[in-house]
Amino acid sequence: MPVADARTYLADIVEQLKKHWPGNRAVHIVCHGHSVPAGYFATPMVDTFNAYPHLLHKGLKDRFPFAVINVIVTAIGGEHSVSGAERFERDVLGHRPDVTAIDYGLNDRGLGLARAEASWRAMIEKSLDRQIKLILLTPTPDTSGLSDPSAERWLLLQQHAEQIRRLAAEYGVGLVDSLVAFEGYAQQPGDLTDLLSWSNHPNRRGHEIVATEILRWFAIT
């Protein structure tokens, strides 16, 4: 299967977001992952309102002014997908989300591809069993490949990103390719450090790129 079509995948959610009171209902979007969606900038600083979940919330409210939208952040700094999968039912599914975004690629390098894949599959399949729409995010980059593109941690980042792309295609769910978006900025020409607040966390500009890519899935047709 291909990755879901961004023009139609969330069409039913978009229709719900367009409704006015009293015919509307609350729409729940969960951002699950590690320190990046949790809002860590230069650790231990947590800059919640400049992180992409909050920017997504603001962008959705600008687009759908009559909607009741809850963007719920269940991310934990330092976590990888094994831990995220272990608490997925309690911390994510308990909110009965309409859409869940999963972002663990940056930290999953320490797990290895096989363990990460099993954890992502567990979260994806639990969501699909409940007919929850999913957006999988490839990792935002760190500085590991700036001086040496063949550095092991940079190659691992690329491998995990490719695995996430493959899972999105296999399950036919949404994909936000943050890594490609950041690399595109660096080819403008630009510099990845323009988008980073620390060695492995985006700054406001970096988070804006991720939020913009997620917002593409909520297009009004």
Residue 46 in this model has a pLDDT that exceeds 80: yes
Q: What is the pLDDT of residue 190?
A: 78
To which CATH superfamily is domain 11-218 assigned? SGNH hydrolase (3.40.50.1110)
pTM: 0.96
Q: Read off the pLDDT of residues 157-214 as tens digits, 9 standing for 90 and up.
A: 999 999 999 999 999 999 999 999 999 998 887 789 999 999 999 999 999 999 999 9
Which pLDDT band, with edges at 50, 70 and 90, does 131 fall under? very high
Helix (H), strand (E), coil (C) string for the chain: CCCCCCCCCCHHHHHHHCCCCCCCCEEEEEEEECHHHHCECCCCCECHHHCHHHHHHHHHHHHCCCCEEEEEECCCCCCCHHHHHHCHHHHCHHHCCCEEEEECCCHHHHCCHHHHHHHHHHHHHHHHHCCCEEEEECCCCCHHHCCCCCCHHHHHHHHHHHHHHHHHHHHCCEEECHHHHHHHHHCCCCCHHHHECCCCCECHHHHHHHHHHHHHHHCCC
- Average predicted confidence (pLDDT) for the chain: 96
Residue 53 in this model has a pLDDT that exceeds 90: yes
Residue ranges of domains in the chain: 11-218
Structure tokens at 97: 């989300």
